[in-house]
Amino acid sequence: MHPILFEFGFIKIFTYGLLVATGFLAAILFASSRAEKEGLDSQKILDLCFYIMLSALIGARFLYVIVEYKYFLTNPIEIFKFWKGGLVFYGGLIVGVITAFLYLKKHQMPLWKTADLLAPSILIGQCLGRWGCLFAGCCYGIKTDVSWAITFTNPLSLAPIGISLHPTQIYLSLNAAFIFIVLIWLSKRKKFDGQIIWSYGILYSMGRFLIEYFRGDDRGFAVEEFLSTSQFVGILIFVLSVLMFFKLFRNNLIKNRAT
């Protein structure tokens, strides 16, 4: 693929950084455009998205550095070059959620209603951002002979060169696109606040868990050669999402019966 989109003198535009930034921008604009329809302040949503973006980048990079700590111990300056590739989504999700919670509490905004608004936007960012992974060569797949396999030839790629690999970056992008469609469909039929964000947690953790088995990059294991770090985190998020979904569903039933 093409890790560097173009180079002019000492100026380099990395494809990964550009696509991740594009994904964030598209996500923010989409959330802002839907805010007023949901009865939320669009300016506060813009501010919230900005803080989430910064914290998610830090969290995603931080978890990646932890997973790849051996490399960064000998190349510490590379820690700050996130635009070249190297973000772990779950790290960004966790830190982003904490940041969002603190912001919503400070500005007294409805937690689950706002979370439902933001959920589809997260998927837009993921869908576009994963193409950045493809161009950079990170998050690559295991060796395969399937007809849709991809082979990296650029020596600057983070993926192994000259080997047919599962296009896991595309799998992840398509997974995000599919869940986005489902969430938009659910949004029009929502029965209670929190339904969309926890549906996202359930669907994404399931899809990500399965795709992880096709990953070939070194991303750390919670259980050596069996359960990756992302799969372990995904299990926790899946359990939490199911519990919260049914808790809010039950609370809604009780509320409706009372009225």
Reported as a single tens digit per residue, the pLDDT across 56-104 is 888 888 888 887 777 888 888 888 877 666 777 778 888 998 999 999 9
CB atoms within 10 A of CB 218: 10
CB atoms within 10 A of CB 75: 11
Tell me which residue range forms the domain holding 11: 4-258
Q: Rounded to the nearest 5°, which phi and psi values hold at 81?
A: -95, 60
Provide mean pLDDT across the span 179-196.
Answer: 96
Evaluate whether 138 touches 120 at the Cβ level (below 8 Å): no
Weakest-pLDDT range from 86-100, 159-173, 196-210: 86-100
Provide mean pLDDT across the span 172-197.
Answer: 96
Q: Rounded to the nearest 10 degrees, how much is the dihedral formed by the CA atoms of 54, 131, 196, 245?
A: -90
- Extract the tokens encoding 228: 């990756």
pTM listed for this prediction = 0.86
Domain count, the chain: 1
